[in-house]
Amino acid sequence: MNKKSISIIYPRGESLNIFLTLSFIKCLSKYHEINIVVYSKEHLKYFEPSLQCINSVTLIQRRKKVLIIDFCHQLLDLSHNIWINTKSSNDRLYNKRNQAITVLDQIKSSFVIFVSRFFSTKNGLLFLERINEFINLKFNFEEHIEEHYQKYNPTLVFCTSHIHNINSLNWIYGAKRRKFKTAAFIFSWDNLTSQGRIIPKYDFLFTWNNEAKNIILNYYQNMKIDNIFVTGTPQFDSYFTKDKKSLNRVEFCKLYGLNSEKPIFYYTTGMAHHMPGEPIIIKNILEFLEQFPIENRPQLLLRIYPKDFTNRFKPLFGINNLFLQDPCWEQEALLPTPNANFILRESLKNIDLGINIASTITLELLMYNKPVINIAYTPKYNLNDNTEKEIFDLERTIYSKKQLKYIDFADNKKWYSFEHYKQVATSGCVELCYSSHELQYKLFNYKKIKLNQNKIAELFNIKFSDTLDGKSYYRIASKLNEIINKNQF
């Protein structure tokens, strides 16, 4: 008997790292034929063992822009943001209004938001959703996609990342045109409240936790409760595997020239213009470290966000006590290499204190029982200081006018009121700093930060719903197998 077929779409590099692992692919290929659709073939070199289990590889082609399709998509997305009325969705609308540069941009932005308000109801969104799907099924036709589906006739089409899905939209609509069942993974914990509507509709959804499942049921009235699966995210599965020999502290410190006898503070940066003032924050931390006794002075290990293509931290290079970490990503492909998970895991295990601005890495630090400081202020530039003046001038050359306008009104404090992170901020598991003076005090007294395991367990119960066990890939693969078997035709 021939195996049933599944087409798996990988619209971004991070989804390759999570869903093209050998363990996940083997769970599926045992029972079904796998045909994958990827945004780039040249980066598949890291997944040779998985490719041995795959029937075919198809390349995603550049999507053709159709004005009416793009307008309907934007209208549906904005109407959804207005309707859900969350802190993070309101922030998106605020940014859209305030980042407009030209008068024409301001008019366009105001017009789209004005029209969107008419549809920001349950019935209005359902109407827009039907219109959006009708237009896409009517006009969004690409021959190479039709050829793929005609050749492989999949029982299920699985999109490994519903967000940043410009590369996968046409493939999902092509599947819907042929009445194939569709499924998607909600990629990150903030997506449902901050990243707009799930477009298009999927038959099945996979989520991190019960909280996300309840949000989906609240926002998407036509979604069946039995078609939403709480599986956790394979993003953290590698923390539970023994893929490489773990490094002891001395071995880890040798990688970066650190002194294993001294404390290690680990600063992980955020998206460049989204987290304004981070170079100044790091400069201030380095100045604070100089005030520690030299015999036990902490070292600052800096992990720059892998998707940060700027040189905004370059003026800090060479300052005492600063050590740089290569995150082991291929920046061009936005793809973590196989060594990326290992390096991050060993970092979390060996550092003494984590510092960041509302990062997912906060959860990972807590997994390893590390104290965490969250920065909740935006520093001002001292243009009389040569280094800060250099950073200020540099940012004026690397950021667009739109990004610079965002920096003018952005505040790092806002992240802690966003729905996905507010529970972390108020959990009692992290230390929030609302000023540089508060940060200085927390750094000097970092040893006094005591973690409450009961509070961490309560937080993890909300954010992971008993899925933090290294088996998320298995739960997702098993459910996909189950869906395919139920929908055989």
Contact indicator for 69, 136 with CB cutoff of 8 Å: yes
3-class secondary-structure state, position 450: coil
Round to whole Å and give the CA distance between 184 and 158: 6
Q: Is 338 exposed, middle or buried (0-12, 13-18, 19+ CB in 10 A)?
A: middle
Please enumerate in sequence order all residues whose Cβ is within 8 A of that of 418, keeping only pairs 6 or more positions apart, or say none: 86, 87, 88, 91, 190, 193, 194, 358
Contact indicator for 211, 105 with CB cutoff of 8 Å: no
**Do the two domains 4-64+142-237+470-486 and 244-464 of this chain adopt the same fold?**
yes
| Long-range residue pairs from 251-257, CB within 8 A, at least 24 positions apart, any chain | 252/346, 252/347, 252/349, 252/350, 253/350, 256/301, 256/323, 256/324, 256/325, 257/323
Contact indicator for 356, 270 with CB cutoff of 8 Å: yes
Round to whole Å and give the CA distance between 207 and 185: 6
Average pLDDT value for the chain:
91
pTM to 2 decimal places? 0.93
Please enumerate in sequence order all residues whose Cβ is within 8 A of that of 383, keeping only pairs 6 or more positions apart, or say none: 389, 392
**Which of 89-98, 149-158, 214-223, 432-441 comes out lowest in average pLDDT?**
89-98
Round to whole Å and give the CA distance between 300 and 263: 9
Q: Is 74 exposed, middle or buried (0-12, 13-18, 19+ CB in 10 A)?
A: middle
Round to whole Å and give the CA distance between 143 and 128: 26
Dihedral, 27, 32, 35, 41 alpha carbons, nearest 10: 30
Q: How confident is the model at residue 488 (pLDDT cuts 50, 70, 90)?
A: low
Burial 401-435 (b: 16+ CB within 10 A, else e): eebbbbbeebebeebbebbbbeebbebebbbbbee
| Domain layout of the chain by residue ranges | 4-64+142-237+470-486, 244-464
Contact indicator for 127, 133 with CB cutoff of 8 Å: no
Which segments within 16-88 are labelled E, that is strand? 32-38, 56-59
Phi and psi, residue 184, nearest 5°: -145, 155
Q: Given the structure tokens 């931290």, which residue do they identify?
A: 313
Contact indicator for 378, 412 with CB cutoff of 8 Å: yes
Burial 94-124 (b: 16+ CB within 10 A, else e): ebbeebbeeeeeeeebeebbeebeebbeeeb
Q: How confident is the model at residue 489 (pLDDT cuts 50, 70, 90)?
A: very low
Round to whole Å and give the CA distance between 216 and 30: 31
- Per-residue pLDDT tens digits for 446-458: 999 999 999 999 9
Round to whole Å and give the CA distance between 425 and 83: 25
- Per-residue pLDDT tens digits for 231-281: 999 999 989 887 778 899 999 999 999 999 999 999 999 988 788 899 999
pLDDT, residue 431, reads: 97
Contact indicator for 236, 472 with CB cutoff of 8 Å: yes
Query: Which residue, 367, 282, 269, is CA-closest to 320?
Result: 282
> Can you tell me the mean pLDDT for 308-323?
93
3-class secondary-structure state, position 190: coil
Give helix then strand counts, H and E, for the chain: 21, 15
Contact indicator for 315, 288 with CB cutoff of 8 Å: no
**CATH second-level architecture of 244-464?**
3-Layer(aba) Sandwich (3.40)
Q: Is 213 exposed, middle or buried (0-12, 13-18, 19+ CB in 10 A)?
A: buried
- Per-residue pLDDT tens digits for 358-383: 999 999 999 999 999 999 999 999 99
Check whether 406 has a pLDDT greater than 80.
Answer: no
Check whether 100 has a pLDDT greater than 90.
Answer: no
pLDDT, residue 119, reads: 95
Round to whole Å and give the CA distance between 481 and 194: 31
For the domain spanning 4-64+142-237+470-486, the CATH number is 3.40.50.2000
Q: Given the structure tokens 């707009």, which residue do they identify?
A: 196
Phi and psi, residue 405, nearest 5°: -65, -35
- Per-residue pLDDT tens digits for 193-223: 888 899 999 999 999 999 999 999 999 988 9
- Per-residue pLDDT tens digits for 68-94: 888 999 999 999 999 999 998 888 888
Straight-line distance from the first to the last Cα atom of the chain, in angstroms, rounded to the nearest whole number: 13
pLDDT, residue 355, reads: 98
> In this structure, what token pair is assigned to residue 418?
């966003």
